[in-house]
Structure 1
Amino acid sequence: MKLPAPLIEGRLMRRYKRFLADVRLPDGSEVIAHCPNTGSMLGCQPEDARVWLSTSDNPKRKLKYTWELVETAPGEVACINTARPNAQAREAIENGNVPELAAYQTCRAEVRYGTEKSRIDLHLSCHEYHPDAWVEVKNVTLCEDGQGFFPDAVTTRGQKHLRELMAQARAGERAVLFFVVNHTGINSVRPADHIDSVYGVLLREAKAAGVELLAYRAGLSGPQGPDGDISLGEAVPVVLDA
């Protein structure tokens, strides 16, 4: 999966009002970029960090630039655009790059399900003799010493998704929590018990109930820095021990 080309490099001045970021371009000019991430972005907005923006020529858009990538530490890059992970996961599954989910022929997005009136990110089906797979996608960008953590803030919505997935697993369907690891420095994923202890408890309950946990990391880097390719490639482990 490729980000819109070309990506424009700049330096992060500040993020504010959740949806806005001031960025200084190499020529010294300053622009306002749309920040497509309503979360805490913990660890992903260091002052004066190198960032990369995509551009749009759509005259109906208020802002020309969209913040896509950030260098969180020397040589480590994260994709902060939360509109990307679902498409990344779907592309990887449909291209056969996720062996655990390679048997399915049909993929639909945003399908209603569950007693709590949720929408599943991806619903996979094949034939009547093969259980459907209900896939919830989560974006992982919080990195601490090579360890990825999710979530990066308390998430009651994420807790609800785990309850819905457990119900599907108990009903005999395949339920999958798919972590899209959008940070090149992350080597494994674990629940952020220090941020949302309830989510950590539910995640372990979900695993015990038969929910499958998958994590795949995006490439993000080219020879001279990010080249805009955010395809998923390498699987990384999900660690649940305390």
Structure 2
Amino acid sequence: MEFSPPLVRGRLIQRYKRFLADVILDDGTELTAHCPNPGAMLGLNMSGITVWLSKSPDPKRKLAYTLELVEAPAANADGYVTVGINTMHPNRLVAEALAADAIPELSGYASHRREVKYGEASRIDFLLEAPDRPACWLEVKNCHLRREGDLAEFPDCVAARSSKHLRELAAMAAQGDRAVVLFVVQRTDCEAFAACHDLDPVFARTLEEVADGGVEVLVYACDIAPDGVRIARRIPWRRS
């Protein structure tokens, strides 16, 4: 996924009301940008950190700029790492990776349908289908939290809706289909992934339960730069 036109750089003044961020650009312009992230953004919303923003060509948009990337201290405490905070991007990244057969565990399906209704008034992110195998129900989750070492964690706040999605995936696995939850880690300094037990013990427990019931857990980290983001490599899930 390439950013076009190129992103512009600035520094974060403050993030507030979850979806708003005040930023000062490198040229001195101060503006309010859309922050496309409903989570806590722990460690990624400090005043003064470097941020990268996209600008919409739509003159009717109330907020022309969108917060896309932030620079945070790297896991090795030596320098900084660029982190993707836009929770709308993982589905697009996965769509591109599926089309390119860049996720071996999910290759070989003839069609990749998006936003298919299932469960209790839900929509699955992707339904993968082929005539010679069971359907694959694929739920995508964005991950950008790192607190200690090189461990990525999800979620960064209570995520009741995500727990509901896991239970709905488990129902599909129980009926004989394939069910997969894919965590997309939008940072480059993590070598493993774990559910965040202290911030959402219900989600962490549910992930363990559905995995034991047949739901597959995949975790992929990204390559990230101001010119674009792409899914790059699988990292292991560290069970409790």
Q: TM-score, normalised by structure 1?
A: 0.94
User: For the residues of structure 2 that align with 1:214 and 1:93, how far apart are their CA atoms?
Assistant: 14
Counterpart CA distance in 2 for 1:21 and 1:210 is 40
In terms of fraction of residues, the more strand-rich structure is: 2
Question: Is residue 2:106 matched to residue 1:91?
Answer: no
Q: CA deviation at 1:75?
A: 2.3
Which aligned pairs between 1:208-227 and structure 2 lie closer than 5 A?
Answer: 208-220=212-224, 226-227=225-226
Helix, strand or coil at the partner of 1:42: coil
- Cα distance, 1:29 vs structure 2: 2.2
Residue 197 of structure 2 is aligned to residue 193 of structure 1: yes
The residue aligned with 2:237 is 238
Aligned-pair distance for 1:60? 1.0
The match for 2:161 among 153, 157, 161 is: 157
Deviant stretches of 4+, over 2 Å: none
Alignment of 1:173-188 (within 5 A): 173-188=177-192
Whole-angstrom CA distance in 2 between matches of 1:231 and 1:160: 28
> For residues 167-219 of structure 1, what are the alpha-carbon distances to aligned partners after superposition, in whole Å with 9 as ceiling and x for unaligned?
11111101000001101222111000011111111100111111111111110
Residue equivalent to 1:223: none
1:86-125 → structure 2 map (5 Å cutoff): 86-114=91-119, 116-125=120-129
Counterpart in 1 of 2:83?
78
Deviations 1:60-93 (A, max 9, x none): 1011111000011132111111111111111111
- Conserved 8 A contact 2:33-2:66: yes
Distance 1:148 1:156 in 2: 19
Q: 1:227 Cα shift?
A: 3.0
The aligned residue for residue 31 of structure 1 is: 31
Q: Is residue 52–residue 226 contact of structure 2 (8 Å, CA) maintained in 1?
A: no
**Counterpart among 121, 133, 137 of residue 134 in structure 1:** 137
Paired AA for residue 233 in structure 2: E
Instruction: Give the partner amino acid of 1:112.
Output: K
Q: Which TM-score applies when normalising by structure 2?
A: 0.94
Q: How many residues align?
A: 234
State how far apart, in whole Å, the 2-side matches of 1:199 and 1:34 are: 28
Give the fraction of aligned pairs with identical amino acids, expressed as a percent: 44
Counterpart contact for 2:69–2:226, Cα < 8 Å: no
Q: Does 1:205 align with 2:209?
A: yes
Q: What amino acid sits opposite 2:82 in the alignment?
A: V
Structure 1: gaps (5+ residues)? 221-225
